Structure 1
């Protein structure tokens, strides 16, 4: 059988983002609780699929006041929208890499996005006998497309928070037995 099920190893995975702050520098952050399942078809990678979920409350930008604001109704509104979700619709070979198209849901809004994916890596056995693989993915979104439109004008012109968000994922998966 060429299809195998893998689950995200959250202890060895990261979901990160960066966004311009005050139009001068990027602020970086991430989410600490990521889960999901990869159905990997080793014979035909285009028949593979992935679903992932991130706990919005696990956001970490290394600044507690900013994190609290990001969790509020001004941004992620974690009480109403506790998770960010992705479900693939199409996997395409792109040279040595992949393009994974799917539905990304943030703040209750679902939009189609395309991730550029490096990997998956070859299967490796960890010291405990578990089979692992990994991949890296990236995309860019506009936060306003997902209803994250809070901002503040700056006295010198421009805005406090940029609209373009770069997303990068480094994910390790464990094969289900």
Structure 2
């Protein structure tokens, strides 16, 4: 009888130990108002820079690692940093027109995370300290394309910090305005530089 009791106690301890090791710790994060996607659009000899706000309330982390969620980019939040104040409305109005983002029909762009994997690559264009390769579906102007980019992601002390640098080809989303290299003075490069800076807090 004593042997049976001891065996039962041992089995209970082992079972408890096994289940404790596999407990899943899930968390949800909400982005704060400092989260932005900075952009740079270039043409021969010059460029423009600015930013969009980035929002999200459903970033999911499991055991300290982001694994799902959607970023929302309100197109009307677009800003310009380099032009004089009297010229900014002209540029921003054009960027929101049907030539570019067509904000009347498509007020938001979204990025839905479909995968995050450890990253140990050597992409010199990536942000310093990039530790994950993020893959997702980026929807803009009614079109969706899969993109991926190296990112530095830090989830600790109830805080989420993410930074990434990458390029997107705007023509993949049908943004074909001023893409003819032969049009002197009216040619904009297809690649747009993106610098993502994300900050969030655990719910």
Q: TM-score range by the shorter chain?
A: 0.7 to 0.9
- Do 1:81 and 1:108's aligned partners in 2 also have CA atoms closer than 8 Å? yes
- More helix, by proportion: 2
Partner of 1:12: 34
- Superposition map of 1:1-177 within 5 A: 1-9=24-32, 11-21=33-43, 23-32=44-53, 34-36=54-56, 37-42=58-63, 45=65, 48-62=67-81, 63-95=88-120, 97-123=131-157, 131-151=158-178, 157=184, 159-176=186-203
What is the CA distance between 1:97 and its match in structure 2?
A: 0.4
C-alpha separation between the residues in 2 aligned to 1:30 and 1:54? 10
TM-score using structure 2 length: 0.74
Q: Give the aligned CA root-mean-square deviation in angstroms.
A: 2.1
- Do 1:113 and 1:139's aligned partners in 2 also have CA atoms closer than 8 Å? no
C-alpha separation between the residues in 2 aligned to 1:26 and 1:92? 33
Bigger Cα Rg: 2
Unaligned runs of 5+ in 1: 124-130
What is the CA distance between 1:41 and its match in structure 2?
A: 1.3
C-alpha separation between the residues in 2 aligned to 1:93 and 1:138? 17
C-alpha separation between the residues in 1 aligned to 2:89 and 2:201? 32
RCO higher in structure (CA 8 A, sep ≥6): 1
Q: Residue deviations 1:47-101, cap 9 Å, x none?
A: 7112110111111114111000000111100010010100011110013600010
Unaligned runs of 5+ in 2: 1-23, 82-87, 121-129
- More strand, by proportion: 1
